[in-house]
């Protein structure tokens, strides 16, 4: 049986976080519009005679993205009309870039399905405008132009990915970079970041590019992976049955888990691209590009490498912390305020802290636990003022109340750890005389019973006994009983 290899190329649409729209001064923050069709003007509703004017901030953000994806920035830019008729497109064309995109020929290094590094070539990054939003009602459709004309960036990869995991890894990393650059929130539920997967399959070992299908409007990582995996299987079956894959545009039916045909192949000539007559070519000054280059933040790869070398973390520990810029700087603030090791701090963040974030559904920005307080708490566990378990209780208390002084909480909850041997000794003696059967088992050689007895000690002392001291005393008390 023939083995098949998937070939995947991604097109990613990202709205830019500018104040105003791409070609007019209307607010681009349409999710905060009071009502549909309030953030509109003659330009973004396509009234005859209205003239577009370029948004400088959008160009700056596009350059930031291009540089971050290792692209060359094209100093000479032109805009083009991409013509098609649809009710969400008031002008009957979208202003886009065609033969001269703002950035091209870049790359992004990712980890594939076997965690090995691989390079995906970024073919081009170009500027365009978003469309209006349609809502389909029973017998009619409504159109809201608040989104029409919002700056949109399209990032197109070469068909370099060979597994669904690699495509996911590429998409995830693009999202992280856009968030690092603060040009896109990455909030896929709001539709500000959308994927299109181009998928084909070919016999393993072959280097031909076979006919592809394009799955549009994938609004989550889950949709991206499920739709691509489905399409790979579907195409393999077509070839296995002696058929041919037809080039077409597909949609993803999330509820039924299938791709559905939307329309047949469309080529560039179907869009009748021609130069936008209302916008002169855009010549970028080299010095401006260099200024923008100087504004680039430390990006995920560089940060990960620094975390590994400076903080002695493993690649996967570092990777977790640098997945979000805010998380990475939170970690760094805790490190700066704490005497505990970076490994210990990492495990508090990766463990109890992230569990709280997951359970509560809160984003880091919504949690207001100052790094100094978190550092203080971790240090209290490190210097054995409180046990690890009590530390978790205190942390959750601080997270719930949005701050609070860890020392105060320890006092109020009476959690301070006791290494006073008299107090622990007393508890142990009582436990041993209450549980003669277990003592006998221990004396008969069942050492594992110690775990159970330690549990009793923790319970009797309300978790305040220093476990090392308690264990030592417990073993001693048991050995005493041998005599
Ligand atoms: P255009 O849309 O201008 O015709 P292409 O068809 O070459 O451009 O590419 C559009 C997207 O499809 C790109 O992301 C590219 O990587 C991807 N792609 C092109 N050919 C294939 C293929 N045979 N299999 C999978 N993806 C492909
Ligand atoms: Mg496309
Ligand atoms: Zn407008």
State the DSSP string of 220-238: SHHHHHHHHHHHHHHHHHH
Instruction: Give residue 150's domain range.
Output: 4-292
pTM: 0.86
As a whole number of angstroms, the distance between CA 90 and CA 145 comes to 9
- pLDDT at res. 169: 96
My answer on whether 220 and 310 are in the same domain is no
Strand ranges inside 204-343, DSSP E: 213-218, 248-253, 258-264, 274-275, 282-283
- pLDDT at res. 192: 97
Cα-to-centroid distance, 466 and ligand 1 (Å): 63
My answer on whether 172 and 98 are in the same domain is yes
Angle between helical axes of 315-322 and 325-337 (0-180°, round to 10): 110
My answer on whether 88 and 224 are in the same domain is yes
Report residues near ion ligand 3: CB below 5 Å.
24, 26, 41, 43-44
CA 469 and chain centroid, separation: 43
My answer on whether 274 and 403 are in the same domain is no
Strand 93-96's sheet: what is its strand order?
93-96, 80-83, 274-275
Domain end position, chosen among 275, 292, 309: 292
Minimum CA distance residue for ligand 1 atom 14 = 9
- Of 233-237, 300-304, 311-315, 401-405, the one with minimum mean pLDDT is 401-405
Minimum CA distance residue for ligand 1 atom 7 = 158
As a whole number of angstroms, the distance between CA 349 and CA 339 comes to 16
Q: Report helix, strand or coil for 202.
A: strand
Asked whether residue 389 carries a pLDDT value surpassing 90, the answer given is no
Q: Which atom of ligand 1 is nearest to the CA of 198?
A: 26
- pLDDT at res. 328: 97
Count structural domains, the chain: 3
Cα-to-centroid distance, 213 and ligand 2 (Å): 10
Number of CB atoms found within 10 A of residue 37's CB: 14
Average pLDDT over residues 93-115: 94
Q: Is there a contact between 66 and 59 (Cβ–Cβ < 8 Å)?
A: no
- Nearest ligand for residue 37 CA: 3
- For residue 289, give the DSSP letter: H
Q: Which atom of ligand 1 is nearest to the CA of 210?
A: 23
Count of all residues that appear for the chain in the document: 483
My answer on whether 253 and 179 are in the same domain is yes
Asked whether residue 1 carries a pLDDT value surpassing 80, the answer given is no
Domain end position, chosen among 412, 442, 458: 412
- Of 112-116, 224-228, 278-282, 291-295, the one with minimum mean pLDDT is 112-116
My answer on whether 358 and 445 are in the same domain is no
| Paired sense of beta strands 213-218 and 248-253, if any | parallel
My answer on whether 192 and 326 are in the same domain is no
User: What torsion do the CA atoms of 294, 298, 302, 307 make, to the nearest 10 degrees?
Assistant: 140
Residues with CB under 6 A from ligand 1: 7-11, 156-159, 198-200, 209-210, 212, 268
Domain end position, chosen among 242, 258, 292: 292
My answer on whether 351 and 219 are in the same domain is no
My answer on whether 388 and 475 are in the same domain is no
My answer on whether 311 and 226 are in the same domain is no
CA-based end-to-end distance of the chain: 74
Q: Report helix, strand or coil for 337.
A: helix
Which run of H or E residues covers position 136?
strand 133-136
My answer on whether 241 and 380 are in the same domain is no
Q: Which of 132, 83, 125, 120 is nearest to 102 (CA)?
A: 125
As a whole number of angstroms, the distance between CA 428 and CA 258 comes to 63
- Nearest ligand for residue 250 CA: 2
For the segment 16-35, what is each residue's pLDDT rounded down to a tens digit? 999 999 999 999 999 999 99
Q: Which of 189, 118, 203 is nearest to 157 (CA)?
A: 118
State the average pLDDT for the chain: 93
My answer on whether 278 and 325 are in the same domain is no
Minimum CA distance residue for ligand 1 atom 17 = 9
């Amino acid at each position: 049986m023939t083995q098949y290899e998937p070939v995947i190329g991604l097109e990613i649409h990202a709205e830019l976080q500018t104040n105003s729209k791409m070609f007019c001064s209307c607010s681009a923050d349409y999710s905060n519009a009071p009502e549909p069709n309030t953030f509109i003007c003659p330009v973004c509703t396509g009234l005859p005679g209205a003239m577009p004017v370029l948004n400088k901030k959008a160009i700056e953000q596009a350059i930031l993205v291009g540089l971050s994806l290792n692209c060359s920035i094209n100093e000479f830019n032109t805009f083009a009309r991409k013509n098609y008729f649809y009710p969400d497109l008031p002008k009957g064309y979208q202003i886009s870039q065609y033969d001269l995109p703002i950035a091209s020929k870049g790359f992004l290094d990712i980890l594939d399905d076997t965690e090995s590094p691989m390079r995906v070539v970024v073919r081009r990054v170009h500027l365009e405008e978003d469309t209006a939003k349609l809502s389909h009602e029973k017998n009619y459709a409504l159109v809201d132009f608040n989104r029409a004309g919002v700056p949109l960036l399209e990032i197109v990869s070469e068909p370099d990915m060979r597994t669904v995991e690699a495509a996911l890894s590429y998409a995830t990393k693009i999202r992280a970079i856009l968030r690092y650059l603060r040009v896109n929130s990455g909030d896929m539920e709001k539709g500000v970041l959308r994927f299109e997967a181009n998928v084909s399959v070919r016999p393993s070992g072959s280097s031909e590019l076979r006919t592809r299908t394009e799955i549009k409007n994938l609004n989550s990582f889950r949709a991206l992976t499920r739709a691509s995996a489905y399409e790979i299987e579907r195409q393999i079956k077509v070839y296995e049955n002696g058929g041919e894959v037809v080039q077409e545009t597909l949609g993803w039916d999330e509820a039924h888990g299938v791709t559905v045909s939307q329309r047949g192949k469309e080529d560039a000539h179907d869009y009748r691209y021609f130069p936008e007559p209302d916008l002169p070519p855009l010549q970028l000054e080299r010095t401006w590009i260099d200024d923008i280059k100087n504004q680039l933040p430390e990006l995920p790869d560089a940060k990960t490498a620094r975390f590994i070398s400076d903080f002695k973390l493993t690649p996967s520990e570092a990777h977790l912390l640098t997945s979000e810029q805010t998380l990475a700087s939170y970690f760094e603030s805790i490190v700066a305020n704490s005497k505990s090791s970076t490994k210990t701090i990492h495990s508090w963040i990766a463990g109890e802290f992230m569990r709280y974030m997951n359970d509560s559904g809160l984003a880091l920005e919504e949690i207001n636990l100052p790094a100094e307080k978190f550092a203080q708490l971790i240090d209290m566990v490190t210097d054995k003022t409180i046990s690890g378990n009590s530390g978790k209780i205190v942390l959750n208390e601080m997270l719930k109340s949005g701050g609070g002084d860890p020392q105060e909480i320890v006092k109020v909850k009476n959690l301070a750890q006791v290494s006073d041997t008299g107090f622990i000794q007393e508890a142990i003696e009582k436990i041993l005389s209450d549980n003669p059967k277990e003592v006998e088992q221990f004396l008969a050689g069942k050492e594992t019973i110690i775990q159970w007895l330690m549990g009793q000690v923790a319970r009797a002392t309300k978790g305040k006994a220093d476990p090392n001291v308690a264990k030592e005393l417990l073993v001693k008390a048991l050995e005493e009983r041998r005599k």
